[in-house]
Amino acid sequence: MEFNLTPLRGLKMWRFSIFYQYLSPNRLRIRIYLNKLSSIYLAIIFICLYTNLYLFPKNKSYFLFSMLKDKKIVIIGGTTGIGLSAAKAFVREGAKVVLVGRNPESGQVAKELLGASAIVYSGDASHHQTAITAIDLCISEFGGFDGLYHVAGGSGRKFGDGPLHELTLEGWNVTFELNLTGLMLSNQAAVRKFKELGKGGTILNMSSVLGFSPSPKYFVTHAYAAAKSAVIGFTKSIAAYYAFDNIRVNLLAPALVETPMSQRASNDETILSFVKTKQPLDGGRNGKPEDLDGAAIYFMSDASSFTTGQTLYVDGGWEVSEGQY
């Protein structure tokens, strides 16, 4: 078989032109042969990548490097915002996902986006049976359960969360139910299932920069800050306890991200002007749901197999910036 290497001449090693004069005729022929082989290998790699990226544009998972190939993951709060963005990223990386959300309409949209790689289950994260059902669904439909990503949470402002002197008991209780009770229930269901299956697994929880870096002028919801701070302590505590079971538990802490929950702040020009200096990376802006995707993929993948009890701040510089009023 003969290969026409004319289009690939530019790929030949530069060393050949420099050292050919010092090589014997036999060694020169060997170097030319090896040079041609390297050109052929590069051509094959190029053809494979071209086929994957251009002939099948919907499958941009870079099949040689899929970090979540054959992983089965449950995402609590996976039908909108950060959770939906993660679901799309996980599927691109080869995973199967079960998404849990309260709104059936957003669930249907998510299902249409993700196709056969996703199952959507409508439920409230604060109900004790929701995560259990979602995990069982993951096992029955996809044949396994490898990871839990808990994104669900919410503001209790409309129930009475705010500065301490105005905070209502209902605001406190609802905020903790939304942000801590539901997370505890999903983590509990995941740990129980991992132990039942006799295998390790990974859990990724969601906190907020407001749990450790307050903003007293524009983000004054003290129950929310307390709940998100509690998530940090809870995550570290269970990470320590279940490390012996090879169960990893880690945490993401974003700053202001454009999601349905953040509409009050995202639509306020004064707050956005502050955020521009408080989150100065990339020109100063709100975070986007996809800004967290890379970190979520890492923690859901085997690349994080030696990582537990860690908090990663995906905050655009919030914690280390003063912010200008």
Identify the band that residue 56 occupies on the pLDDT scale cut at 50, 70 and 90: very low
Contact 309, 249 (CB under 8 A): yes
Q: Please say if the pLDDT value at position 53 is more than 80.
A: no
What one-letter code names the amino acid at 34? L
What one-letter code names the amino acid at 229? S
pLDDT in the model for residue 323: 81
DSSP 1-44: -----GGGGGGS-THHHHHGGGS-HHHHHHHHHHHHHHHHHHHH
Task: Tell me the catalytic residues.
Answer: 224
How far is the C-alpha of 139 from the C-alpha of 161, rounded, in Å?
38
Same domain for 31 and 136, yes or no, is: no
Q: Please say if the pLDDT value at position 280 is more than 80.
A: yes
- Cα-based distances in Å from 15 to 25, 35, 40, 43, 302: 16, 10, 18, 20, 39
- pLDDT (tens digit, 9 = 90+) per residue, 242-257? 999 999 999 999 999 9
- pLDDT (tens digit, 9 = 90+) per residue, 141-153? 999 999 999 999 9
Distance of CA 319 to the CA centre of its chain: 20
Q: Please say if the pLDDT value at position 60 is more than 80.
A: no
- pLDDT (tens digit, 9 = 90+) per residue, 215-240? 999 999 999 999 999 999 999 999 99
Residue 10 domain-assigned (yes or no)? yes
Identify the band that residue 11 occupies on the pLDDT scale cut at 50, 70 and 90: very low
Same domain for 289 and 208, yes or no, is: yes
What is the rounded average pLDDT of the residues 19-34?
49
DSSP classification of residue 244: G
Angle, CA 187 vertex, CA 181 and CA 189 arms, to 5°:
105
Residue 28 domain-assigned (yes or no)? yes
Q: Secondary structure of 128-157 in the HEC alphabet?
A: HHHHHHHHHHHHHHHCCCCEEEECCCCCCH
Identify the band that residue 8 occupies on the pLDDT scale cut at 50, 70 and 90: very low
How far is the C-alpha of 23 from the C-alpha of 283, rounded, in Å?
55
Tokens representing residue 268 in the block: 């306020």
Same domain for 97 and 227, yes or no, is: yes
Place of tokens 């986007």: 288
DSSP classification of residue 181: I
* Number of folded domains that form the chain: 2
Same domain for 220 and 278, yes or no, is: yes
How far is the C-alpha of 64 from the C-alpha of 168, rounded, in Å?
54
Residue 325 domain-assigned (yes or no)? no
Residues near 54 by beta carbon (within 8 Å), at least 6 away in sequence: none
Residue 97 domain-assigned (yes or no)? yes
Q: Please say if the pLDDT value at position 34 is more than 70.
A: no
Task: Give the helix ranges, DSSP H, for 199-262.
Answer: 222-242
Angle, CA 193 vertex, CA 133 and CA 173 arms, to 5°:
60
Q: Please say if the pLDDT value at position 33 is more than 80.
A: no
Same domain for 132 and 14, yes or no, is: no
**CATH number of the domain bearing residue 273:** 3.40.50.720
Reference 10, options 28, 34, 35; nearest CA is 35
Same domain for 83 and 26, yes or no, is: no
What one-letter code names the amino acid at 96? K
Residue 78 domain-assigned (yes or no)? yes
Identify the band that residue 80 occupies on the pLDDT scale cut at 50, 70 and 90: very high
DSSP classification of residue 207: -
Q: Please say if the pLDDT value at position 293 is more than 90.
A: yes
pLDDT in the model for residue 266: 77
- pLDDT (tens digit, 9 = 90+) per residue, 66-76? 999 999 999 99
Residue 258 in 3-state DSSP? coil
Q: Please say if the pLDDT value at position 325 is more than 80.
A: no
Place of tokens 């289009």: 7
Residues near 55 by beta carbon (within 8 Å), at least 6 away in sequence: none
How far is the C-alpha of 210 from the C-alpha of 230, rounded, in Å?
11
Whole-prediction pTM value?
Answer: 0.80
- pLDDT (tens digit, 9 = 90+) per residue, 208-221? 999 999 999 999 99
Identify the band that residue 44 occupies on the pLDDT scale cut at 50, 70 and 90: low
- pLDDT (tens digit, 9 = 90+) per residue, 263-273? 787 788 888 89
Same domain for 92 and 224, yes or no, is: yes
What one-letter code names the amino acid at 146? D
Q: Please say if the pLDDT value at position 205 is more than 70.
A: yes
Which domain range does residue 264 map to?
Answer: 66-320
How far is the C-alpha of 219 from the C-alpha of 214, rounded, in Å?
8
Same domain for 43 and 134, yes or no, is: no
pLDDT in the model for residue 258: 87
Same domain for 24 and 116, yes or no, is: no
pLDDT in the model for residue 324: 84
Residue 55 in 3-state DSSP? helix
